[in-house]
């Protein structure tokens, strides 16, 4: 009996062990995570809807640009092969009023902390792997990447124009625009905001309005621009401008403070 | 703040564990008053004092019947001697009698007729009856003759001077107090054949015998592992794919970090297409598993490839002899039929078992059908013995696949369902296995031992599984995209190998130093063909080819191991092991030219590689008092590389593991209570993690695990058993993962937790097994069991965590005469849990705009299931 008594564990030790064990089981483990989830707001803004192109004053009455989805990558390139997994993303499509220079809330960017080095995105026209062909998103302005209505006034008079611009991915599974400049940033937490700035002036500045208005000045019918039947060259010029560094949207992350 | 709390809790956990030594220190030294190791077989020199051969009680005579002198011999006035060998069943009856020395037909028949009426108390191991054999001599003499010289019990022969051979102990026991009738049976010798646990190599070297394994219900041989400390095991991919095992901080996937063996046959498969070290345990029928040796860490020179987290050896044997039929039926249309034959009069290693199982599964696309047979035959006697082992298995199962947790939470797909998509419903797995092994052991008179084994293995594997939905693009034809990421993996492996070991006799260079020395050799060679494609459901059209390779590999292992005792207080075990690995890879899709580049060669990449892995393994053991053993262990092991990832001439970059452990084993109340406590550290140079996009393992860099384990086994009464284990691990990544093109800046934070690894694993097994009453001529026995598993919240990537998991299993059974009725309930509280969580990006078309963010995916664990059993024992 004496032996048994001496071999018993003390009640205090047992109780301490039980309490410690109960506490331990609730802990998921001790250690930092290399990456943590983040979520921050996305805003869109523009340079405005009235600008000069040579001798022509261009006034945009309607300028709606669809943007998204946007996938930010940690890789040097944002191709689907290099970037099968995004670091941050805006998995949605939103529309920016490109006449409005004030920030417009578009939604939320979600993801995890890390260094962003490239971005791939669409302008409301997608060709996901499961889609048989390029498809405009339901939110796409008038079913296009961008929809413009405006008036150009120049030395010869004025004319109206309507442009439906489609920035279409070239291959299935690819983003329409992949860019690596201007997107270097390190996302460390959610105290951020992202502003996408469009510059429609830079897009339209390469258009020869004299040529576009030839024969249309003074008429009531608007000049149509689209990728099918009307002024295709102008349409493609706009697309080329939008998808190259000179005219592509810029991304600006800024802290929002505590 | 969170970390401070964590560390405080950790300290609180470890301190009681350390102060547990207080109780140990208070334990009195061994004294004559201590409960004796009653009737334990004598220990050989290699036997650990803390892990004696199981406490074995030989059979004893309850009722004896005198043999009747044959009437037809009366006129001849003959005297005769007959020596019989009787098999004593667990109920004490004599099931088989054979004649060892004949006294003539009439006398033999008379002796047999008498002996068959004898009743014994059965032999018992730790209070649990098992089948044994006794030799009983009969002497026939006519009245008036002088008393027989052997009428009194003879002094039993002394224990053998040399260690008995593994895996058996033959022990000659003294005669029982009950003396058989003087005239017919003057004495008998019992031969108790049982397996000796190998000497432990660390505190965390556990031998889990069948009494623990059967305490709680288990559904498969792999599930038996859940009773081992620190193990969590799941089968997320159904009956035809290997279990997924977590052991002490290692997510061993399908076996990459654990060396599995069944006797001499290695189970892990190098270079497997579904994961390096893939180990499919489904062919093992749980009813024939006699014990498990789970060595957590690498401290034994016999541990070879894949012994990174540790090793598991399945010891096969059937204690209850006779013919058994078991039919299980229950939830989800599950039916299992077992036929088990263990011929009476044969050792436990001789048996044959066949099992067939079918189930509709607990959710969509989870039906399965499998069948297997496994058998062994033990041959030889005396100094040379052997076992022939043969097994075959085939299984096919539908796979539900994994689900996005956000889809489940949004109700877009049911928790136990599969995505309603052809590429999801086409998921399935098929595997087959056949193996043959012969193991021979010879023990010389001086105690030296030689063992030799050869084995042959043939396996096939075909898996169709889609983890990511629709994200892949064909590399062969880049315009093929969006056809579903249904990965087809095919693997065929023909392997053969051998093992040889030679142990010296007991060496005693000085009076205070004695021990044995062993050298061993192992060899295996594999002939592997494997392929990986992308298929388009439902017609399974191939739309991309990812792997098409043949691999020839060889592994030659050499080891030296000593086991020496210095005085009676200290012991040192250990030695070195070296493995030479060779690979010849014919990668028929290597040097692939993308369509964007101009072809300037014919694709294909053939290369060879050879490397050597070696390291020491040592264990120091001290026994300051009889009840307490202290151990300190260090070992270095390795995991072989995935050959397809090797370059020409590369020195086979092995994953090197270093294990370190210190602990104690405490035995109280005559081994009715044993407590193991240990702290450990494991450093791994190259860890692997599952890549769902390729459906295989990829490197993640060096890792470290530090933790502690406590394991308690209590047998307060002979009919009740309880075990409890608590394992804590702090598993971290110690350097950034290797950069890849897809991830040139892999995220890393010092001290970063390894995802998916549960920091705390608690397991409890409780079993009661006792006689209830007497019904007619037979006893009614009852059995009940409980198994409880708890996993603390598992860290996931991106700072997330999976919910904790608590699982409770219950069982109850009644047995009367030859009939057994049982009920098993798994996941009693119907916990809805993720058997395995994952984190990756996928697109199943459940949202208008796909997300490329890695999100949590789950493979559902089974809900509550009830199984009824009807068994017949003949």
pLDDT digits (tens, 9 = 90+) for B696-731: 667 788 999 999 999 999 999 888 999 999 999 999
Query: At residue B291, what are phi and psi to the nearest 5 degrees?
Result: -160, 165
Vertex B544 angle, CA B539 and B550, to 5°: 110
Question: Taking residues B373-393, what's their average pLDDT?
Answer: 93
Question: Taking residues B271-290, what's their average pLDDT?
Answer: 94
Q: Which residues of B touch A10 (CB under 8 A)?
A: 22-23
Please check whether residue A182 touches B, CB under 8 A: no
Q: B3, A76: Cβ pair inside 8 Å?
A: no
| All residues at 6 or more sequence positions from B704 whose CB lies less than 8 Å from its CB, including other chains | B681, B682, B683, B684, B731, B732, B734
Do the beta carbons of residue B94 and residue B163 sit within 8 Å? no
Residue B140 is predicted with a pLDDT of 81
DSSP result, B110-174: HHHHHHTT-EEEPEEETTEEE-EEEEEEEEE--TTSPPPGGGSPPPPPPPPSSPPPTT-EEEEPP
**Per-residue confidence band for B167, with pLDDT thresholds at 50, 70 and 90:** very low
Chain A window 50-109: which residues touch B at a Cβ cutoff of 8 Å?
68-69, 71, 74-76, 80-86, 89, 91-93
Helix (H, G, I), strand (E, B) or coil at B444: coil
Higher pLDDT, B113 or A107: A107
Chain B window 820-859: which residues touch A at a Cβ cutoff of 8 Å?
840-841, 843, 845, 847-854
Q: Distance between CA B359 and CA B351 in Å, rounded?
A: 27
Residue B256 has pLDDT above 80, yes or no: yes
Sheet with A70-73, strands from edge to edge, namely A177-179, A118-121, A70-73, A88-90, A104-112, A37-46, A192-198, A250-255
**Pairing between β-strand B310-316 and β-strand B322-330 as defined by DSSP bridges:** unpaired
Mutation for testing the B interface, residue in A26, A29, A128 having most B CBs under 10 Å = A29
Pick the range with the lowest mean pLDDT from A13-17, A50-54, B339-343. Answer: A13-17
The closest of B383, B277, B234, B352 to B761, measured between CA atoms, is B234
Residue A207 has pLDDT above 80, yes or no: yes
The shortest CB-CB distance from A27 to any of B15, B745, B759 is to: B759
Q: Distance between CA B435 and CA B522 in Å, rounded?
A: 17
Residue B134 has pLDDT above 50, yes or no: yes
Question: Taking residues B761-776, what's their average pLDDT?
Answer: 93
Residues B121-144 as b or e (16 or more Cβ within 10 Å = b): bbbbbbbbbbbbbbbbbbbbbeee
| All residues at 6 or more sequence positions from B455 whose CB lies less than 8 Å from its CB, including other chains | B264, B265, B266, B435, B436, B437, B438, B496, B497, B498
Chain A window 183-242: which residues touch B at a Cβ cutoff of 8 Å?
none
Question: Taking residues B167-188, what's their average pLDDT?
Answer: 36
How many other C-beta atoms lie within 10 A of the C-beta of residue A257? Answer: 5
DSSP tag of B71: G
The shortest CB-CB distance from A33 to any of B16, B798, B849 is to: B798
- Chain B nearest-CA distance from A56, in A, is 40
Mutation for testing the A interface, residue in B32, B694, B747, B758 having most A CBs under 10 Å = B747
CB pairs under 8 A between A and B: 205
Q: What percent of chain B has pLDDT over 90?
A: 59
DSSP result, B289-340: EEEEEEEES---TT--TT-SSEEEEEEE--SS-EEEEEEEEEGGGEEEEEEE
DSSP result, B334-351: EEEEEEEEE-TTS-TT-E
Q: Which residues of B touch A75 (CB under 8 A)?
A: 741-744
Q: B750, A32: Cβ pair inside 8 Å?
A: yes
Question: Taking residues B300-324, what's their average pLDDT?
Answer: 94
- Chain B nearest-CA distance from A18, in A, is 9
The closest of B579, B519, B707, B665 to B200, measured between CA atoms, is B665
| All residues at 6 or more sequence positions from B32 whose CB lies less than 8 Å from its CB, including other chains | none
Q: Distance between CA B716 and CA B276 in Å, rounded?
A: 43
How many other C-beta atoms lie within 10 A of the C-beta of residue A191? Answer: 12
| All residues at 6 or more sequence positions from B385 whose CB lies less than 8 Å from its CB, including other chains | B165, B168, B378, B379, B440, B441
Q: B759, A32: Cβ pair inside 8 Å?
A: no
Q: B792, A24: Cβ pair inside 8 Å?
A: yes
Residue B163 is predicted with a pLDDT of 35
Pick the range with the lowest mean pLDDT from A54-58, A98-102, B102-106, B355-359. Answer: B102-106
A157 backbone φψ class: left, alpha, beta (φ>0; ψ -120 to 50): left
Residue B693 has pLDDT above 70, yes or no: no
Residue B648 is predicted with a pLDDT of 85
Q: What is the pLDDT of residues B313-328, one digit of tens each?
A: 999 999 899 999 999 9
Residue A9 is predicted with a pLDDT of 52
B253 backbone φψ class: left, alpha, beta (φ>0; ψ -120 to 50): left
pTM: 0.81
Q: Which residues of A touch B795 (CB under 8 A)?
A: 28-29, 31, 33
Rg (CA), chain A: 27
Q: Distance between CA B551 and CA B563 in Å, rounded?
A: 38
Residue B7 is predicted with a pLDDT of 45
Do the beta carbons of residue B359 and residue B353 sit within 8 Å? no
Q: What is the pLDDT of residues B728-757, one digit of tens each?
A: 999 998 888 877 777 777 777 788 888 888
How many other C-beta atoms lie within 10 A of the C-beta of residue B582? Answer: 16
DSSP tag of B354: E
Mutation for testing the A interface, residue in B477, B848, B856 having most A CBs under 10 Å = B848
Q: Distance between CA B111 and CA B79 in Å, rounded?
A: 13
Pick the range with the lowest mean pLDDT from B63-67, B567-571, B801-805, B849-853. Answer: B63-67
B20 backbone φψ class: left, alpha, beta (φ>0; ψ -120 to 50): alpha
**How many Cα neighbours within 13 Å face the side chain of B509?**
7
The shortest CB-CB distance from A30 to any of B10, B20, B848 is to: B10
Helix (H, G, I), strand (E, B) or coil at A77: coil
Do the beta carbons of residue A71 and residue B843 sit within 8 Å? no
Residues B373-406 as b or e (16 or more Cβ within 10 Å = b): bbbbbbeeeeeebbbbbbbbbbbbbbbbbbbbbe
Greatest alpha-carbon span in chain A: 117
Question: Taking residues B391-409, what's their average pLDDT?
Answer: 96
Please check whether residue A126 touches B, CB under 8 A: yes
The shortest CB-CB distance from A24 to any of B13, B840, B849 is to: B13
Residue B29 is predicted with a pLDDT of 33
Do the beta carbons of residue B455 and residue B436 sit within 8 Å? yes
Residue B149 is predicted with a pLDDT of 34
Query: At residue B651, what are phi and psi to the nearest 5 degrees?
Result: -85, 50
Mutation for testing the B interface, residue in A27, A75, A132, A180 having most B CBs under 10 Å = A27
Q: Which residues of B touch A120 (CB under 8 A)?
A: none
Helix (H, G, I), strand (E, B) or coil at B504: coil
Residue A217 is predicted with a pLDDT of 82
The shortest CB-CB distance from B741 to any of A36, A82, A172 is to: A82
Q: Residue B537: which H helix or E strand, with range?
A: none
Q: Distance between CA B40 and CA A73 in Å, rounded?
A: 67
Question: Taking residues B467-495, what's their average pLDDT?
Answer: 93
Q: Distance between CA A145 and CA A164 in Å, rounded?
A: 7
Q: What is the pLDDT of residues B449-466, one digit of tens each?
A: 999 999 999 999 999 999
C-alpha torsion B807→B309→B556→B577, nearest 10: -140
């Amino acid at each position: 009996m004496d032996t048994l008594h001496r071999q018993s564990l003390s009640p205090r030790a047992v109780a301490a062990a039980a309490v410690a064990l109960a506490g331990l089981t609730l802990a998921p483990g001790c250690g930092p995570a290399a990456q943590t989830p983040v979520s921050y707001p996305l805003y869109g803004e523009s340079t405005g809807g009235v600008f000069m192109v040579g001798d022509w004053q261009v006034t945009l009455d309607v300028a709606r640009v669809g943007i998204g989805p946007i996938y930010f990558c940690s890789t040097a390139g944002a191709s689907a092969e290099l970037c099968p997994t995004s670091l941050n993303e805006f998995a949605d499509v939103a529309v920016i009023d490109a006449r409005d220079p004030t920030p417009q809330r578009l939604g939320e960017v979600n993801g995890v902390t890390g260094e962003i080095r490239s971005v791939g995105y669409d302008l409301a026209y997608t060709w996901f792997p499961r889609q048989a062909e390029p498809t405009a998103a339901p939110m796409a302005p008038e079913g296009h990447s961008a929809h413009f209505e405006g008036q150009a006034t120049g030395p010869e008079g004025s004319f109206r124009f309507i442009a439906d611009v489609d920035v279409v991915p070239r291959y299935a599974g690819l983003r329409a625009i992949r860019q690596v400049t201007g997107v270097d940033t390190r996302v460390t937490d959610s105290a951020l905001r992202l502003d996408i700035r469009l510059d429609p002036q830079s897009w339209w500045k390469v258009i020869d309005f004299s040529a576009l208005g030839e024969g249309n000045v003074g008429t009531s019918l608007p000049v149509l621009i689209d990728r099918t039947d009307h002024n295709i060259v102008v349409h493609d010029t706009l697309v080329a401008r939008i998808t190259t560094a000179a005219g592509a949207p810029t991304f600006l992350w800024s802290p929002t403070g505590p | 703040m969170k970390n401070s709390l964590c560390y405080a809790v950790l300290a609180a956990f470890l301190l009681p564990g350390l102060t547990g030594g207080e109780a140990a220190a208070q334990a009195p030294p061994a004294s004559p008053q201590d409960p004796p190791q009653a009737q334990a077989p004598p220990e050989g020199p290699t036997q650990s004092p803390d892990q004696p051969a199981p406490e074995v009680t030989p059979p004893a005579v309850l009722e004896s019947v005198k043999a009747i002198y044959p009437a037809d011999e009366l006129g001849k006035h003959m005297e005769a001697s007959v020596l019989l060998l009787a098999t004593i069943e667990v109920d004490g009856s004599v099931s088989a009698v054979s004649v060892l020395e004949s006294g003539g037909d009439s006398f033999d028949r008379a002796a047999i007729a008498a002996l068959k009426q004898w009743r014994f108390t059965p032999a018992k191991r730790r209070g649990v009856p098992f089948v044994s054999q006794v030799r009983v001599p009969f002497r026939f003499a006519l009245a008036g003759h002088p008393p027989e010289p052997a009428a009194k019990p003879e002094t039993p022969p002394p224990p053998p001077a040399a260690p008995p051979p593994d895996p058996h102990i033959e022990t000659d026991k003294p005669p029982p107090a009950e003396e058989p009738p003087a005239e017919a049976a003057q004495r008998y010798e019992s031969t108790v054949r049982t397996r000796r646990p190998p000497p432990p190599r660390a505190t965390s070297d556990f031998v889990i015998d069948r009494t623990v394994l059967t305490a709680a219900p288990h559904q498969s041989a792999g599930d038996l592992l859940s009773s081992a400390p620190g193990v969590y095991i799941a089968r997320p991919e159904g009956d035809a794919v290997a279990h997924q095992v977590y052991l002490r901080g290692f997510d061993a996937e399908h076996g990459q970090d654990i060396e599995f063996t069944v006797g001499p046959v290695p189970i892990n498969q190098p270079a497997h297409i579904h994961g390096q070290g893939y180990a499919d345990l489904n062919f093992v029928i749980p009813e024939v598993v006699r014990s498990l040796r789970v060595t957590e860490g690498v401290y034994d020179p016999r541990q070879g490839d894949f012994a990174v987290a540790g090793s598991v050896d399945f010891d096969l044997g059937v204690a209850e002899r006779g013919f058994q039929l078991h039919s299980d039926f229950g939830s989800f249309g599950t039916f299992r039929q077992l036929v088990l034959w263990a011929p009476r009069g044969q050792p436990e290693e001789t048996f044959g078992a066949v099992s067939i199982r079918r189930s509709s599964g607990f959710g969509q696309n989870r039906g399965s059908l499998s069948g297997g047979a496994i058998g062994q035959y033990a041959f030889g006697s005396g100094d040379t013995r052997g076992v022939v082992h043969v097994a075959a298995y085939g299984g096919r199962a539908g796979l539900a696949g994994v689900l996005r947790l956000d889809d489940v939470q949004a109700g877009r797909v049911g928790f136990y369902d599969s995505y309603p998509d052809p590429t999801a419903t086409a998921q399935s797995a098929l595997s087959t296995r056949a193996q043959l092994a012969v193991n021979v052991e010879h023990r010389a008179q001086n105690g030296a031992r030689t063992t030799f084994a050869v084995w042959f293995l043939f396996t096939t594997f075909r898996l169709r599984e889609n983890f990511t939905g629709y994200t892949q693009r064909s590399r062969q034809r880049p315009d093929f995209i969006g056809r579903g990421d249904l990965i087809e993996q095919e693997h065929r492996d023909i392997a053969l190998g051998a093992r040889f070991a030679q142990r010296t006799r007991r060496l005693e260079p000085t009076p205070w130093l004695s021990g044995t020395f062993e050298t061993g050799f192992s060899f295996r060679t594999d002939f592997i063909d494997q392929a990986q494609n992308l298929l388009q459901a439902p017609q399974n059209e191939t739309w991309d080819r990812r792997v098409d390779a043949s691999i020839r590999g060889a592994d030659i292992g050499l080891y030296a191991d000593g086991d020496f005792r210095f005085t009676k207080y200290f012991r040192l075990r250990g030695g070195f092991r070296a493995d030479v690995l060779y690979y010849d890879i014919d990668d028929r899709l290597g040097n692939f030219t993308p369509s964007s580049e101009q072809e300037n060669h014919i694709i294909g990449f053939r290369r060879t590689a050879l490397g050597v892995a070696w390291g020491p393994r040592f264990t120091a053991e001290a026994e300051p008092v009889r009840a307490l053993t202290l151990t300190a262990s260090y070992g270095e092991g390795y995991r072989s590389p995935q050959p397809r990832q090797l370059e020409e001439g590369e020195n086979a970059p092995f994953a090197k593991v270093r294990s370190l452990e210190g602990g104690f084993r405490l035995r109280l109340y005559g081994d009715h209570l044993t407590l193991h406590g240990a702290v450990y550290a494991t450093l791994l140079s190259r860890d692997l993690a599952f890549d769902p996009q390729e459906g295989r393992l990829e490197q993640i860099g060096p890792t470290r695990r530090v933790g502690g384990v406590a394991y308690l086994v209590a047998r307060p009464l002979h009919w009740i058993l309880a075990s409890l284990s608590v394992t804590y691990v702090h598993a971290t990544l110690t350097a950034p993962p290797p950069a890849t093109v897809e991830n040139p800046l892999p995220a890393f934070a010092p001290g970063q937790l390894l995802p998916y690894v549960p920091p705390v694993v608690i397991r409890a097994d409780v079993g009661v097994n006792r006689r209830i009453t007497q019904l007619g001529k037979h006893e009614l026995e009852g059995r009940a069991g409980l198994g409880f598993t708890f996993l603390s919240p598992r860290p996931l990537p991106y700072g997330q965590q999976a919910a904790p998991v608590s699982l409770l299993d219950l069982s109850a059974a009644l047995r009367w005469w030859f009939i057994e009725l049982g009920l098993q309930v798994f996941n009693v509280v119907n916990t809805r849990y993720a058997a395995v969580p994952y984190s990756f990006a996928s697109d199943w078309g459940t949202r208008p705009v796909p997300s490329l963010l890695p999100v949590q995916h789950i493979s559902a664990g089974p809900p509550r299931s009830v199984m009824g059993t009807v068994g017949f024992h003949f």
